Chain A
Amino acid sequence: MESAFVIETIIKILVVLGLFSALAGFATYVERKVLAFMQRRLGPMHVGPWGLLQVLADGIKLFTKEDFIPQGANRIIFMIAPVITAASAFIAMAAIPMFPEFTIGGYTVRPIISDINVGLLFVLGVMAIGLYGPLLAGMASGNKWSLLGAARTAVQFLSYEVVTGLSVLAPVMIVGSLSLIDFNNYQAGGISNWLVWKQPVAFILFLIAGFAETNRTPFDLLEHEAEVISGYATEYSGMRWGMFFIGEYANMFTIGFLASLIFLGGFNDLGFIPGAIAILLKVFFFIFLFIWARASWPHIRPDQLMWLCWKVLMPIAVINVVITGIVMMF
């Protein structure tokens, strides 16, 4: 029993690692294509049919590029930083139930690596650890732009963590559990049971905070080219830079899974669509939303980011929690 459990877990870990590394690569292709179409361009076209093999070419390029460490940098921290981002992005996925249970040859597989009963907090906490990567990278690079990127990381981390936590608090109060499987089971039985209808404000707040946590475009202050060259990643090249990239895209998938599990009914069957496909559709919608927002909206200034967090989002989140509490009490 024990060894079967260990083997099963290891297989799951390998599947998650391989699958999401590949998906992260594919997401870069989708992002380039969708961004191009929205800007009346074609995007990558030359490598393979419709540029499909561009991901592969990029991978080869990243692996064969020189791994460059600047002279003034702090070598150890500089080398560790990207690993933190990539690793924590994948560790966060350990507590996410991806699909409904299924059986292969009489053996029931639960597509979750570790079912801890505080899954939601675990995922959010470990995802937040991922921001240590940019912070350390920026501080170890010995470059002023990188240092600015690191300072922005610290600011963004400290403020948007609050919004994420408070926005998720209201749904947690309604469901009465921190386990993502409980969230999923609570919303079983059709679209009308989804938590979005009960907590629309929390949903929007969570999405906004999700953009900030994955540092996607409206909030991509950490590596905004026009202001801080490439921010924390200025001195990185090759696969170390690629690890930041994989971490960012894996975090996008994590936020997609979290948002669909908490607010959009998770992997419950959706009418005639089976649950596994339903959650995939939702996650891909969120990925598309990330890209869509990147094509549409300009990014904001750091002071606007702080204004948005502390003067708008946090009060709304607190009021939301209070109202939820009052409604639940009576």
Chain B
Amino acid sequence: MNGLEQFKDRNVSQNYYRVKIEPYPKTPWERFKRVVRRSLRLELFVGLKITLMEMLRFKIHTIQYPKEKLPISPRYRAVHKLLRLLESGNERCIGCGLCEKICISNCIRIDTRPDENGRKIPTEYTINFGRCIFCGYCAEVCPELAIVHGQDYEHASEQRAQFALKEDMLTPLDKLKEQKEYPGFGAPTPAADKLIKKTPLAY
């Protein structure tokens, strides 16, 4: 997390410095002098030295992608996840349809029915990932923290039908123990409790 702190610093111009540009030669004699100066000061060999030193130092920055992966921010917005309630294992979604309403690329579809207890549950929940722009509005608007953005960004597929499967997004029942309380996008920030202020009712 600390490594990412530096990127939050928006005051980028503090490290700027002005490059000294030598005046452009005007007369042929000045041009000749510049050529001689540049050739005899062996500026070309400075370039050669830098590349050679880089090679000998062997400080490789390559990430060999499928084998190694860069850590991503917890607030990264990748493929959605549908969460379950930790105790009962029921789906968190209450079928309010806010996500469907707010979705700006219009890719969420919900179908609901009342269950035997009279609660509304979703029978169908699809997100067309071919169309989704991963803006994160759905996760932000969800009152129950039922739909969130996961960390799984490798979602290429050969068929469009596979872009909308609820089974892939929903936490399976047997993996319920592994489901963590979600810290990322759309979830309350860690210090949310402290930030809550008393509603000013003085008037």
Contact = CB atoms under 8 A, between A and B. Distances in A.
Contact of A41 (B47, B50, B52, B61): B61
Nearest to A42: B62
A151 B51 CA distance: 32
Contact of A38 (B44, B55, B62, B64): B55
Contact of A40 (B35, B47, B52, B60): B60
B48 A296 contact: yes
Interface centre among B35, B44, B55 (most CB of A within 10 A): B55
Interface residues of B, number: 15
A295 interface: yes
Interface residues of A, number: 15
Contacts of A37: 54-55, 58, 60
Contacts of A36: 62
Interface in B30-50: 35, 44, 47-48, 50
A42 B61 CA distance: 8
A42 B54 contact: no
Given A42-B64, A45-B64, A312-B35, A292 B52 contact: yes
Given A45-B64, A312-B35, A40 B59 contact: yes
A42 B60 contact: yes
Contacts of A312: 35
Nearest to A43: B62
A38 B54 CA distance: 5
Given A45-B64, A297-B44, A312-B35, A38 B51 contact: yes
A39 interface: yes
Nearest to A45: B64
Given A41-B60, A42-B64, A312-B35, A293 B48 contact: yes
B61 A295 contact: no
A306 interface: no
Given A40-B61, A293-B48, A34 B55 contact: yes
Given A297-B44, A312-B35, A292 B51 contact: yes
> Which among A34, A295, A297 has the highest number of chain B CB atoms within 10 Å?
A295
B62 A295 contact: no
Given A34-B55, A312-B35, A41 B62 contact: yes
Contacts of B35: 312
A296 B50 contact: yes
Contacts of B50: 296
Contacts of B58: 37
Nearest to A293: B48
Given A37-B54, A38-B55, A40-B54, A292 B60 contact: no
A296 B44 CA distance: 8
A46 to B, nearest CB: 8
Nearest to A311: B35
Given A34-B55, A38-B54, A39-B54, A296 B61 contact: no
A289 to B, nearest CB: 9
Interface string B130-166: 0000000000000000000000000000000000000
A42 B64 CA distance: 9
Contacts of B61: 40-41
B62 to A, nearest CB: 4
Contacts of A40: 54, 59-62
A312 B35 CA distance: 10
A210 to B, nearest CB: 16
Contacts of B64: 42, 45
Given A36-B62, A40-B60, 14 more contacts: A37-B58, A37-B60, A38-B51, A38-B55, A39-B54, A40-B54, A41-B61, A42-B60, A42-B64, A45-B62, A292-B48, A292-B51, A296-B44, A297-B47
Closest 4 CB pairs of A and B: A296-B47, A42-B62, A38-B51, A296-B51
20 contacts: A34-B55, A36-B62, A37-B55, A38-B52, A38-B54, A39-B54, A40-B54, A40-B59, A40-B61, A40-B62, A41-B62, A42-B60, A42-B62, A42-B64, A292-B48, A292-B51, A293-B48, A295-B51, A297-B44, A297-B48
